[in-house]
């Protein structure tokens, strides 16, 4: 006989479901994974932000470093290219590369925070 007023809820006399394994080793692994994800997100957003700055400062596009940063930013933000079609090139670059940078930061740090809580 079920004396629980609302079916579907766990009563106090029943054993709780198995809790996730919070051993120090698993916590350390989760922290390392979170740190790796944060680092990848930060580097990705940093390269995108650096390309925005280099473009806005009219850096020499023939320079090897500028070419590397531009190529990396194109690869990282390729999915977001031409989302915004502005007449002003600087605003277009800011929005089309800034959106992926912001999303990488938000998603990367959000996933890392979730891993640290688990």
Q: Cα separation of 59 and 35, whole Å?
A: 32
The tokens for 92 are 């277009």
The tokens for 52 are 């925005």
pLDDT at 27: 82
Instruction: Find, among 59, 51, 65, 63, the residue nearest to 98 by Cα.
Output: 51
* Contact predicate 97/54, CB 8 Å: no
Predicted model pTM: 0.74
* Contact predicate 37/111, CB 8 Å: yes
Q: What is the pLDDT along the chain (118 residues), one digit of tens a residue?
A: 555 555 555 555 555 555 566 777 778 888 899 999 999 999 999 999 999 999 999 999 999 999 999 999 999 998 888 887 878 888 989 999 999 999 999 999 999 999 888 6
């Amino acid at each position: 006989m079920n004396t629980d007023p609302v079916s579907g809820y766990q009563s106090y006399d029943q054993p709780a479901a198995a809790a996730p394994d919070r051993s120090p080793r698993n916590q350390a692994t989760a922290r390392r994974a979170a740190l790796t994800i944060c680092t990848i997100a930060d580097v990705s957003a940093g390269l995108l932000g650096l390309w925005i700055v280099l473009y806005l400062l009219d850096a020499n596009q023939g320079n090897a470093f500028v070419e590397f940063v531009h190529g990396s930013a194109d690869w990282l933000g390729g999915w977001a290219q031409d989302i915004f079609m502005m007449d002003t090139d600087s605003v277009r670059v800011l929005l089309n590369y800034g959106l992926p940078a912001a999303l990488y930061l938000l998603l990367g740090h959000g996933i890392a925070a979730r891993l640290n809580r688990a």
